[in-house]
Structures are given as structure tokens and as C-alpha cells.
Amino acid sequence: MSAEEIEKILTEKFAEVLATKNRGLIMKTVMAELKGKADGKLISETVAKLCK
């Protein structure tokens, strides 16, 4: 899964969680959905980018 696909999923499905800017909460929520589908490091980098 590419960074663009991850970002799209994050902004569409997890917009409410992203609004908190709490990376730990975001990662916990997102990893339940994307585990095994995308690289954890790439997800983390995308979350960091969106939290800026």
C-alpha cells in the first residue's frame, strides 16, 4: 500500500481521530485496520505528516 493510499484512508475513515492530533491514539486505531496491509513505518510517517 502506498503513502497516498494510506493518507486517503486516514483522511476518509479516521478524520475524527486525526483531529485529536494524538499520534498514539491515531496509530492504535489505524493499525487495527491496516495491519498486514501496509508497512507500519510508512503509516507512522503518514500520521506524523498529517499531524503537523
pLDDT at 17: 93
Determine the pLDDT at residue 52.
86
- Grid look-up 493510499 returns 5
| CA proximity to 48, closest of 7, 5, 13 | 7
What tens digit of pLDDT does each residue of 4-44 get? Answer: 999 999 999 999 999 999 999 999 999 999 999 999 999 99
Residue 42's CB is within 10 A of a number of other CB atoms, namely: 15
Amino acid 25: pLDDT: 94
pLDDT computed for residue 38 by the predictor? 94
Q: What pLDDT, on the 0 to 100 scale, is given for residue 5? A: 95
The confidence score (pLDDT) of residue 40 equals 94
